[in-house]
Amino acid sequence: MSATIQSIEAVLVDIPTIRPHKLSMTTMGVQSMVIVRMKDSNGLEGLGEATTIGGLAYGAESPESVKLTIDTYFGPQLIGQSAENINTLRVMLNRSTRGNNLARSAIETALLDLQGKRLNRSVADLLGGAVHRHIPVLWTLASGDTAKDIEEARGLIETRRHCDFKLKIGSRRLMDDVRHVAAIKEAVGESASVRVDVNQAWDEATAAKGMAELQAAGIDLVEQPTPMKDYAALVRLSNKFHLPILADEAVADAKDMYALAAAGFSGAVAMKIAKAGGPMRALEQASVAQAAGIGLYGGTLLEGTIGSVASLHAWSTLETLHWGTEMFGPLLMKDDIVVKPLSFHDHGVDLPEGPGLGIELDEDKLTYYRRQA
């Protein structure tokens, strides 16, 4: 059964968050997603998603620019092409396009979903097969208030939804942040892993002082303490402390991973399908990290269910996720646009069953949350 791509629609969707989510560079009250609907000549539909954090606060692409890229550039190239050979289409886009990895990720995801539906296999099957079907997920405490964060963490530990926590810091004075983190660590105790994400807010000297303090407070991991392009600082800090560093903004794809590892970095990498340009490209990065002895972590740009599930299919194929994942994006939003939301329990999430991503859109919810022109 041959199939050609008939149409590609990129829909902007805005869903409020359950509480303000405070990061060093922005505070989110809503999450904006681009949902890709790719239809083929057999009437099947592939779904994809591209999301970022706070418009242009996290990276060079915004939800609005992703929609424009897909509508103006990717759509005309892809429509009419055979949908069956994803690698051929990836090569075509690689030749015509620089960057724009968020838009590429949504397209690669939709192609995989479509292919899986056509072949009656899951996306994980297309990627070689799932090694794990229940995947660990941490929660980010980012209300901006220490007492509220402690209360939130205690509730989640009690219901066994999460046992690991990431704290967003970097917008306050260093010692205020350290006191905030130490108080939460003390409240949740030894059995919970507490990590911090600085989102590039520190210079190297502040990071060195901060890491010494956080190491003493029993913190397990420090994510992206220094600016993304400053590889030398990240390498020096990773060599100086036994508290490991998680590289996030510094590393988008396999090439970045190679460059950072070759510069002498040790620690871990936050893989994100959005940064890499899709689930297949994120797994290319995982191979480079594994070869360099760098730990793996399944990262998020706070995607909704479609983007989170696409990531989960990729992460499920990896034998070891040294630091687990943070695929909690759907839980941060007040509502969902899929018929059957993900099942989060026992400190993790179940990989959905069924062909493709295993996700069905709720058309009414999509209509309700889609951005009006």
Interface residue with ligand MUC, options 32, 51, 122, 140 (CB under 6 A): 140
Q: How far is the CB of 148 from ligand MUC (least distance, A)?
A: 15
Task: Give bridge partners of residue 82 from the DSSP assignment.
Answer: 4
Task: Tell me the two tokens of residue 72.
Answer: 């103006």
Interacting residue with Mg ion among 108, 152, 197, 256 (CB under 5 A)? 197
Return the one option of ligand MUC, Mg ion, none that residue 303 interacts with (CB less than 5 to 8 A, by type): none
Selection from 276, 292, 365 nearest residue 33 by Cα: 365
Site string for ligand MUC, 49-78 (x = CB under 6 A): ----x-------------------------
Sign of CA dihedral 99, 351, 339, 1: positive
64 tagged catalytic: no
Span from 102-110, 204-212, 256-264, 297-305 in contact with ligand MUC (CB under 6 A): 297-305
In the DSSP assignment, the letter for residue 357 is: T
Residue 303 interacting with Mg ion (CB under 5 A): no
39, 67, 166, 168: which one is catalytic?
Answer: 168
Residue 45 interacts, among ligand MUC, Mg ion, none and using kind-specific CB cut-offs from 5 to 8 Å, with: none
The span of 41-49, 90-98, 177-185, 298-306 binding ligand MUC (CB under 6 A) equals: 298-306
What is the distance between the alpha carbons of residues 235 and 258, in angstroms, rounded to a whole number? 13
Binder to ligand MUC among 199, 226, 305, 317 (CB under 6 A)?
199
CA dihedral of 70, 316, 32, 44, whole degrees rounded to 10 = 50
Closest of 39, 32, 38 to residue 17, by C-alpha: 32
Q: Which does 326 bind (CB under 5 to 8 A by kind): Mg ion, ligand MUC, none?
A: ligand MUC
Nearest residue (CB) to ligand MUC, 112 versus 327: 327
DSSP codes of every residue in 220-275: -EEE--S-TT-HHHHHHHHHH-SS-EEE-TT--SHHHHHHHHHTT--SEEEE-HHH
Of 40-48, 120-128, 296-304, 362-370, the window that binds ligand MUC (rule: CB under 6 A) is 296-304
Neighbours of 121 (CB within 10 A): 15
Would you call 39 a catalytic residue per the annotation? no
Listed in sequence order, the residues at least 6 apart from 16 whose beta carbon sits closer than 8 Å to its beta carbon are: 29, 30, 31, 333, 334, 335
Interacting residue with Mg ion among 40, 61, 248, 256 (CB under 5 A): 248
Residue 141 contact among Mg ion, ligand MUC, none, beta carbon within 5 to 8 Å by kind: none
Q: Which residues are catalytic?
A: 168, 326
Please report, as ranges, the residues that interact with ligand MUC according to CB under 6 A. Answer: 53, 140, 142, 168, 197, 199, 248, 299-300, 302, 326
